[in-house]
């Protein structure tokens, strides 16, 4: 028992003595001197890393070799500064040719990389060997800055702060890199493999949350003429090489973001933004598809022109396709959104060129569809297709809805426009309801309604929008010019609408002295009947006449022939009904006698005038001056009126649509029947 206690006392004593000796040695080595200098020199020789003069200390108890505020020149273009560096150096290896370094810990490291110098000169040969053999490097709460002194400005390419960075040797020539940060609004991680032979890296960058401004500051997004805000999250594959630089590809999401174009004052906000097919290469960003959810776009002028300008000059990255879901607002109209519940698709074709489609609610109430293309360099090449249904013009401002001195509030329209090959757009504006309150009327709106409203109670007109012209302004101009043209040339307008060729005329030219409809007259009456069918608010008036100038000479011939037969039958002592034909010579003599009776003289025999010529002149005079038979003239006018009315009715026109004016006899008339529009 006593012997056992003696052994225990001896062991304890030996441990205490050894601890005191080690402590004394540690105290010696922790004080700058030739031992720590020798150890540091040996580490430099072994690692190939130059360590500038620093405070250093070593403890035999912990095996920790501590460097305070060191600066390490690892290789050309790579420098590291740190608050402290702790190296685990086994004291058993101090007297060996090669020191065993188990783990290296860096506290608050600051890493500087110069891409302009990396690779220009090879590092110390033993650096790579050291990296291959060392197990692990840990960097705590550090920062890294990457510059390129080959560039004139030597601007910072990348600058990041991290909570932890760890390097692990995986294979002989490969080092695994893991970097992460979790601090407030910045949560991200980077992992990858560095090939020491090829000086290249392949890995993955995962960002859970990062202010979008950080990506702008790092140069991954160019925004010199814009302002960007939001919270970025993304998963990107990372490739880097000394020759090609950085290449990032993948998808990204930005929450609660805002983009402001400082040139055009265009303002875009969104709840969610998805970027598909993101690529960053050669210091330029590109995205296949951008999709904005729950977004709001505010413009202060022409929507397409302002969007075109922003797309051409201020986008932070090059984009192929853009999808927008949300509200489009004009700063000039605060009461209602231009387009709500809208879905917009853009395809960018080149500088200043894009196609678009828009579905949405115009002024929060009207479903519209727009599509087309914009070419800022060639307005003729720009296109615009519009489809808007059941638009209440009350939604427009008073100045926008006023036409020809009338306020069209309460009117409802449909608008359809399609692009034309020569530039601009053509289409139809259809009034399903026309309300016109007079302000300072410039025309008779009742006549316009009657002339233009068809059997479906709609009014249609053509609209043309020139390239770059506002569709609203073009539509307003089309309404006014169409109304004026319809009132100035109603028959031409109605003929065009009914497809009548030649155009309608107010006059029917029946054969003189007859109530007979020619083919021309029938074609005209068919046209009038078609117009009355298409325009329920229009009636017509019909007035027939018999003209003494044109019709009576024809009617008087029958009177003359009756008298000639009566004279001839008296000479032959026969009944008039028995006379079939009067011989020509006798007929001529009878005409001369009748002329002499009227003039009480003979036809003058002048020169070589033959009897036949004299008889002809006498007959023409008799026909022209024969006392008019008013009854026959009235009957001719009545027959003409009836012929017109009956034909129009036979074509399907109701009798109530035809207003017959009293037939009459006139001295002279341009036509046998006159037809006028009644509103």
The span from the CA of 37 to the CA of 43, in Å, is 10
pLDDT of residue 6: 53
In terms of C-beta density within 10 A (0-12 exposed, 13-18 middle, 19 or more buried), how is residue 273 classed?
buried
Q: Which of 336, 355, 389 is the last residue of a domain?
A: 336
Q: For residue range 486-498, what is the model confidence (pLDDT) as tens digits?
A: 999 999 999 999 9
pLDDT of residue 602: 57
For residue 141, what are the β-bridge partners? none
pLDDT of residue 30: 45
Q: Which of 296, 318, 336 is the last residue of a domain?
A: 336
For the record, the structure tokens of 257 come out as 């973001």
pLDDT of residue 7: 45
* Helix, strand or coil, per DSSP, at residue 661: coil
Please check the confidence at residue 122 and state whether its pLDDT lies above 70: no
For residue 136, what are the β-bridge partners? 168
Cα 264-270-275 angle, rounded to 5 deg: 95
Q: What pTM value is reported for the model?
A: 0.65
pLDDT of residue 306: 85
The span from the CA of 91 to the CA of 469, in Å, is 86
pLDDT of residue 477: 96
pLDDT band at 311 (very low <50, low <70, confident <90, very high): confident
**pLDDT-wise least confident of 40-44, 51-55, 134-138:** 134-138
Query: Is residue 283 assigned to a domain?
Result: yes
**pLDDT-wise least confident of 295-299, 428-432, 573-577:** 573-577
Q: Which residue has the tokens 């009715």?
A: 649
pLDDT of residue 365: 78
Handedness of CA 571, 574, 579, 583 (dihedral sign): negative
In terms of C-beta density within 10 A (0-12 exposed, 13-18 middle, 19 or more buried), how is residue 64 classed?
middle
Query: Is residue 273 assigned to a domain?
Result: yes
Share of the chain above pLDDT 70, in %: 86
Average pLDDT value for residue range 184-206 = 88
The span from the CA of 557 to the CA of 381, in Å, is 71
Average pLDDT value for residue range 600-604 = 57
Q: At a CB cut-off of 8 Å and minimum separation 6, what does 171 contact?
A: none
Average pLDDT value for residue range 142-151 = 79
217 or 666, greater pLDDT = 666
Average pLDDT value for residue range 335-347 = 87
pLDDT of residue 644: 97
390 or 155, greater pLDDT = 390
pLDDT band at 11 (very low <50, low <70, confident <90, very high): very low
pLDDT band at 236 (very low <50, low <70, confident <90, very high): very high
Query: Is residue 172 assigned to a domain?
Result: yes
The span from the CA of 309 to the CA of 263, in Å, is 9
For the record, the structure tokens of 470 come out as 């506002």
Please check the confidence at residue 115 and state whether its pLDDT lies above 60: yes
Please check the confidence at residue 1 and state whether its pLDDT lies above 50: no
Could you tell me which of 169, 35, 15 has the C-alpha nearest to residue 94? 35
Q: For residue range 366-413, what is the model confidence (pLDDT) as tens digits?
A: 888 888 888 877 766 677 788 988 889 998 889 999 999 999 999 999
From its phi and psi, is residue 503 left (phi > 0), alpha (psi between -120 and 50) or beta? Answer: beta
Query: Is residue 460 assigned to a domain?
Result: no
Q: Which of 50-54, 181-185, 483-487 has the highest mean pLDDT?
A: 483-487
pLDDT band at 604 (very low <50, low <70, confident <90, very high): low
Please check the confidence at residue 177 and state whether its pLDDT lies above 70: yes
pLDDT of residue 17: 42
For the record, the structure tokens of 39 come out as 């150890």
Please check the confidence at residue 13 and state whether its pLDDT lies above 50: no
The span from the CA of 487 to the CA of 519, in Å, is 29
The span from the CA of 162 to the CA of 179, in Å, is 7
The span from the CA of 29 to the CA of 57, in Å, is 6
pLDDT of residue 440: 96
663 or 151, greater pLDDT = 663
pLDDT band at 202 (very low <50, low <70, confident <90, very high): very high
279 or 8, greater pLDDT = 279
Average pLDDT value for residue range 422-446 = 93
Please check the confidence at residue 343 and state whether its pLDDT lies above 50: yes
pLDDT of residue 21: 42
Q: For residue range 444-454, what is the model confidence (pLDDT) as tens digits?
A: 999 999 999 99
Query: Is residue 429 assigned to a domain?
Result: no
Query: Is residue 624 assigned to a domain?
Result: yes
pLDDT of residue 135: 63
CA 62 to chain centre: 72
For the record, the structure tokens of 319 come out as 């984009």
Query: Is residue 38 assigned to a domain?
Result: no
pLDDT of residue 14: 46
Handedness of CA 218, 220, 224, 230 (dihedral sign): negative
For residue 206, what are the β-bridge partners? 189, 235
pLDDT of residue 607: 45
Average pLDDT value for residue range 283-312 = 88
pLDDT of residue 600: 61
483 or 100, greater pLDDT = 483
The span from the CA of 380 to the CA of 6, in Å, is 110
- H helices of 499-546, in order, are 519-534
Average pLDDT value for residue range 601-609 = 53
CA 637 to chain centre: 64
Backbone angles phi, psi at 303, to 5 degrees: -60, -55
* Residue 324 domain boundaries: 167-336
Could you tell me which of 65, 22, 59, 62 has the C-alpha nearest to residue 40? 65
Q: How many domains does the chain have?
A: 2
**pLDDT-wise least confident of 28-42, 151-165, 533-547, 657-671:** 28-42
pLDDT of residue 432: 96
**pLDDT-wise least confident of 96-100, 425-429, 633-637:** 96-100
Residue 253, H or E segment:
strand 245-261
pLDDT of residue 195: 86
CA 37 to chain centre: 73
Please check the confidence at residue 19 and state whether its pLDDT lies above 50: no
Average pLDDT value for residue range 229-242 = 91
Query: Is residue 214 assigned to a domain?
Result: yes
Q: In the predicted model, what is the mean pLDDT of the chain?
A: 83
Please check the confidence at residue 546 and state whether its pLDDT lies above 90: yes
338 or 467, greater pLDDT = 338
Q: Which of 336, 367, 389 is the last residue of a domain?
A: 336
């Amino acid at each position: 028992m006593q012997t056992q206690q003696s052994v225990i006392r001896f062991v304890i004593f030996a441990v205490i003595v050894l601890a005191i000796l080690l402590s004394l040695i540690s105290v010696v080595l922790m004080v700058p001197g030739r031992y720590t200098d020798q150890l540091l020199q040996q580490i430099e020789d072994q690692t190939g890393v130059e360590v500038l003069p620093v405070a250093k200390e070593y403890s035999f108890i912990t095996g920790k070799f501590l460097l305070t505020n060191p600066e390490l020149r690892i290789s050309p273009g790579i420098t590291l500064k740190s608050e402290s560096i702790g190296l685990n150096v086994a004291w058993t290896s101090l007297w060996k040719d090669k020191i065993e370094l188990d783990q290296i810990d860096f506290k608050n490291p600051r890493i500087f990389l110069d891409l302009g110098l990396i690779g220009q000169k090879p590092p110390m040969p033993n650096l790579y060997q050291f990296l291959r053999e060392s197990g692990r490097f840990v960097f705590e709460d550090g920062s890294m800055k990457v510059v390129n002194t080959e560039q004139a400005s030597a601007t910072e390419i990348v600058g990041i702060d991290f909570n932890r960075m760890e390097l692990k040797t995986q294979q002989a020539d490969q080092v695994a890199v893991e970097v992460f940060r979790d601090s407030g609004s910045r949560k991200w991680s980077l992992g990858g493999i560095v090939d020491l032979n090829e000086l290249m890296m392949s890995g993955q960058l995962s960002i859970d949350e990062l202010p979008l401004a950080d990506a702008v500051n790092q140069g991954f997004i160019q925004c010199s003429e814009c302002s960007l805000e939001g919270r970025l999250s993304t998963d990107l594959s990372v490739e880097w090489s000394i020759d090609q630089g950085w290449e990032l590809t993948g998808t990204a999401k930005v929450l609660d973001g805002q983009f402001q174009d400082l040139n055009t004052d265009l303002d875009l906000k969104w709840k969610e933004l998805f970027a598909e097919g993101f690529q960053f290469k050669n210091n330029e960003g590109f995205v296949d598809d951008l999709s904005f959810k729950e977004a709001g776009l505010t413009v202060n002028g022409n929507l397409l022109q302002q969007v075109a300008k922003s797309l051409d000059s201020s986008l932070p990255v090059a984009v192929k396709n853009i999808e927008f879901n949300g509200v489009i607002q004009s700063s000039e109209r605060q009461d209602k959104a231009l387009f709500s519940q809208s879905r917009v698709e853009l395809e960018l074709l080149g500088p200043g060129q894009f196609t678009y489609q828009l579905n949405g609610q115009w002024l929060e109430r009207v479903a519209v569809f727009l599509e087309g293309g914009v070419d800022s360099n060639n307005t003729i090449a720009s296109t615009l297709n519009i489809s808007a249904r059941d638009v209440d013009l009350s939604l427009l401002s008073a100045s926008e809805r006023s036409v020809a001195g009338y306020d069209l509030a309460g009117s409802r329209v449909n608008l359809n426009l399609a692009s034309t090959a020569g530039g601009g757009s053509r289409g139809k504006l259809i009034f399903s309801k026309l309300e016109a309150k007079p302000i300072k009327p410039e025309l008779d709106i009742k006549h316009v309604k009657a002339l233009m409203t068809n059997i479906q109670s709609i009014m249609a007109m053509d609209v043309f929008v020139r390239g770059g012209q506002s569709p609203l302004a073009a539509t307003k101009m089309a309404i006014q010019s169409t109304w004026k043209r319809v009132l100035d040339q109603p028959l031409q307008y109605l003929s065009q609408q009914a497809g009548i060729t030649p155009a309608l005329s107010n006059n029917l030219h029946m054969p003189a002295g007859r109530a007979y409809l020619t083919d021309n007259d029938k074609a005209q009456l068919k046209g009038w009947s078609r117009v009355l069918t298409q325009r329920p608010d229009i009636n017509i008036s019909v007035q027939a006449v018999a003209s003494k100038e044109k019709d009576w000479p024809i009617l008087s011939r029958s009177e003359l022939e009756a008298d000639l037969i009566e004279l001839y039958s008296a000479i032959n002592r026969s009944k008039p009904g028995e006379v079939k034909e009067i011989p020509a010579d006798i007929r001529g003599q009878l005409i001369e006698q009748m002329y002499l009776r009227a003039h009480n003289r003979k036809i003058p025999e002048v020169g070589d005038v033959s009897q036949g010529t004299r008889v002809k002149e006498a007959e023409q005079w008799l026909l022209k001056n024969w006392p008019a038979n008013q009854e026959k003239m009235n009957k001719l006018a009545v027959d003409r009126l009836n012929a017109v009315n009956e034909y129009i009715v036979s074509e399907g026109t109701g009798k109530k649509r035809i207003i017959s004016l009293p037939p009459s006899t006139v001295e002279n008339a341009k036509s046998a029947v006159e037809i006028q529009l009644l509103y």
